[in-house]
Amino acid sequence: MTGNIRPLEDGIERDLQGLNYGSYLHLDELLHAQQPVSDHHDEMLFIVVHHVTELWMKLIIHEIRSAISLLAQDELGPALKRLARVKHIQRQMIEQWAVLATLTPSEYAQFRDVLGKSSGFQSAQYRTLEFLLGNKNRAMIAVFAHEPQTAAQLDRDLHAPSLYDEFLLYLARRGYPIPAELLERDFAEPHTRNEELVGILTAVYADPEHQWDVYETCEELVDIEDTFQTWRFRHLKTVERIIGYKRGTGGSSGVAFLSRALSLTFFPELYAVRTEIGAPAKEHA
């Protein structure tokens, strides 16, 4: 009888020289990256949550870059698979706020001062993600002037087509009458709502059976924006719960600054379609 002991099976590897679980994942480096500056117990929570968030963002960026490339090659099916994965990653990121929210105001106050001017606003990966989704902002490049390689990559992403831009280019190649000003524009500028495009996408939603792949892609994009906005909202509420209406460590107005981000949209026409579908016919003058 072995009780609660589970004996090792004969085939299990016991000599872990060479490539193994730890060395493959570089766990020495990964698990030594959490270096609290204070001796407060809860600073480890704060660091781990932010590290995990950055890792998830790294994977989202990897998937969205691939989706953009696939769309450029007219490979819509595999691109949709990438976007489906992105949604599941986003949901993991949303749930992480519940973990950070266990940090009370009095606990955070005991080590907040050691953070200096560190702020999530300074996350290069977050800025990359926003650029890839279409929230372009030239002014953000200067924030990373202290990291020339990062600033250069952000500049490349600023000037490259976003996920939405690439989708519209794909639609144009499929024969959809996408306005020329959307196809030939300066991609470093944020996309703004185009009424002609609203009409084109409304027609897709009015007849999904005959253009299901485009219809499905539109809904995948809406899912991604909706989930991204949910993440932003949970961020705001977590900050409000922990520091109230204090200024952020990076100098922002805190909750007010985060609240303004909720008004930003990546795919305005896809939301405008919701108003148009099923609306009474417009009266002619």
Binding site residues for heme, as ranges?
A: 235
Binding site residues for substrate, as ranges?
A: 46-50, 108, 112, 249
Task: Determine the residue type at 264.
Answer: L
Binding site residues, as ranges?
A: 46-50, 108, 112, 235, 249
Tell me the H-state helices in the chain.
21-24, 27-31, 43-72, 76-100, 105-109, 124-133, 148-159, 163-173, 180-183, 195-206, 212-243, 255-261, 268-276
Task: Determine the residue type at 266.
Answer: F
With residue 1 as reference, give the H or E element that holds it. Answer: none
- CA dist 98 and 235 (Å) reads 10
Q: Find out whether 33 and 83 touch, Cβ atoms under 8 Å.
A: no
